[in-house]
């Protein structure tokens, strides 16, 4: 069973990295939202799905291609996020985390239900942009161009987000506002608006991941719900709220999952949760989290 061939293993590692880039993008958005708003955003999967659907509609109703979708979908879905934050989440900041979780979970079920009712569960096809179809023959595997693009794009986005929050003045304001909103407000910064925009940004990241996913997977209402639980495990392992933690764990776990699919495929959808259980036992704050 364990006849390991190096080329096959290299292929699996690369494929793992590709999946990891989705995990990283999604868990990054979650980490930003949790770190700065203290909201456990269970709507994230639904927002990822909405991003893919926006891409589908842009292409099929308005004739706007993939590259437009990369810009418009995050803005459009991010805007719905802003509305949700203003109308609903805002009321919950003073309460326990649990209320935010319940609200966003309920919203996710409603959104997915509406989409399923409208579009069915088999989903809709989204074709790959012409430039990115085809692939490279790496000798040990055939790497589709599109997947290579997803890895690169997601790395760039993840690292710039990290830079924005951890290394710029704006990021410093944001972090300060979560520590002590009253004080930051006293310095003349509009904290509520900043928080609203942060939620919109996190949601936009989810939508962007959705656009990345559209050509690979079927654009279907349940595409988010099958991913969101794994992504939560990634966030928990990385440490709730840690930006770099969620990026590294996202990529890392993608690789581990890829290897599991090679050595023992039956366990490939549980391996991440096994790791989560172990991490919680020995380091409850997560690998990169601080107490």
Partner 1 sequence: MNFKLKAIVAAAALALTAHAAQAQISGNVVKIGVLNDQSSLYADLGGPGSALAAKMAIEDFKAKEKGLTVEVVSADHQNKPDVGSQIATKWIDSEGVDVIVDVPNSGVALAVNQIVRDKGKVFINSGAASSDLTGAKCSPNTVHWTYDTWMLANGTGSAIVKRGGDTWFFLTSDYAFGHALERDTEAVVLKAGGKVVSKVRHPLNTQDFSSFLLQAQASKAKIIGMANAGGDTINTIKQAAEFGIAKGGQNLAGLLVFLTDVHGLGLDKAQGLILTNTFYWDQNDGTRAFAKRFAAANGGKYPTMVQAGVYAGVLHYLKAVAALKSDDGTKVVAKMKELPTDDPLFGKGTIRVDGRKIHPAYLVEVKKPSESKGPYDYYKILATIPADRAFRPLADGGCELVKK
Q: Which residues pair with 11 in a beta bridge?
A: none
The answer to whether residues 220 and 122 touch, using CB atoms and an 8 Å cutoff, is yes
- The residue from 60, 91, 121, 168 that contacts partner 1 (CB under 8 A) is 121
Is residue 249 involved in binding partner 1 (CB under 8 A)?
Answer: no
- Closest approach of partner 1 to the CB of residue 268, in Å: 6
- Closest approach of partner 1 to the CB of residue 36, in Å: 29
Is residue 60 involved in binding partner 1 (CB under 8 A)?
Answer: no
Is residue 185 involved in binding partner 1 (CB under 8 A)?
Answer: no
Q: Which of residues 101-120 bind partner 1 (CB under 8 A)?
A: 113, 116, 120
Is residue 11 involved in binding partner 1 (CB under 8 A)?
Answer: yes
Q: How many residues bind partner 1 (CB under 8 A)?
A: 42
> Which part of the chain contacts partner 1 (CB under 8 A), choosing from 131-139, 186-194, 200-208, 279-287?
131-139
Angstrom distance (rounded) from CA 140 to CA 119: 39
Q: From residue 18 to residue 47, what is the string marking binding to partner 1 with x (rule CB under 8 A)?
A: xx----------------------------
Q: Which residues pair with 137 in a beta bridge?
A: 142
The answer to whether residues 37 and 199 touch, using CB atoms and an 8 Å cutoff, is yes
Nearer to partner 1, 93 or 273 (CB): 273
Give me the phi and psi of 129, to 5 degrees please: -60, 140
Angstrom distance (rounded) from CA 248 to CA 280: 17
State whether residue 224 is helix, strand or coil: coil
Provide the binding-site residues for partner 1, judged by CB under 8 A.
Answer: 5, 7-8, 11-12, 15-16, 18-19, 113, 116, 120-125, 127-128, 133-135, 141-142, 144, 146-147, 216-218, 220, 222-223, 226-227, 258, 261-262, 265-266, 268-269
């Amino acid at each position: 069973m364990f006849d390991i061939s190096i080329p096959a293993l290299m292929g699996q590692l690369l494929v793992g990295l590709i999946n990891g880039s989705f995990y990283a993008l999604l868990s990054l958005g979650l980490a930003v939202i949790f770190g700065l708003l203290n909201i456990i955003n269970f709507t994230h999967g639904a927002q990822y799905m909405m991003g893919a659907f926006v891409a589908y509609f842009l292409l099929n109703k308005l004739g706007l291609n993939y590259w437009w979708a990369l810009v418009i979908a995050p803005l459009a879905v991010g805007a719905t996020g802003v509305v949700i934050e203003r109308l609903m989440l805002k009321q919950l900041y003073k309460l326990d985390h649990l209320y935010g979780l319940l609200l966003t979970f309920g919203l996710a079920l409603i959104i997915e239900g509406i989409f399923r009712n409208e579009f069915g569960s088999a989903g809709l096809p989204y074709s790959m942009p012409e430039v990115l179809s085809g692939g490279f023959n790496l000798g040990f595997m055939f790497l589709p161009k599109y997947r290579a693009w997803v890895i690169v794009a997601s790395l760039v986005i993840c690292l710039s987000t990290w830079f924005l929050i951890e290394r710029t003045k704006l990021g410093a304001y944001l972090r300060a506002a979560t520590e002590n909103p009253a004080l930051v407000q006293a310095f003349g910064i509009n904290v509520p608006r900043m928080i609203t925009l942060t939620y919109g940004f996190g949601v936009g990241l989810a939508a962007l991941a959705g656009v990345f996913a559209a050509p690979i997977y079927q654009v279907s209402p349940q595409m988010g719900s099958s991913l969101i639980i794994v992504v939560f495990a990634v966030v928990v392992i990385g440490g709730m709220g840690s930006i770099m933690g969620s990026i590294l764990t996202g990529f890392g776990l993608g690789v581990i999952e890829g290897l599991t699919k090679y050595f023992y495929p039956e366990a490939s959808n549980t391996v991440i949760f096994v790791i989560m259980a172990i991490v919680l036992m020995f380091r409850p704050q997560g690998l990169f989290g601080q107490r």
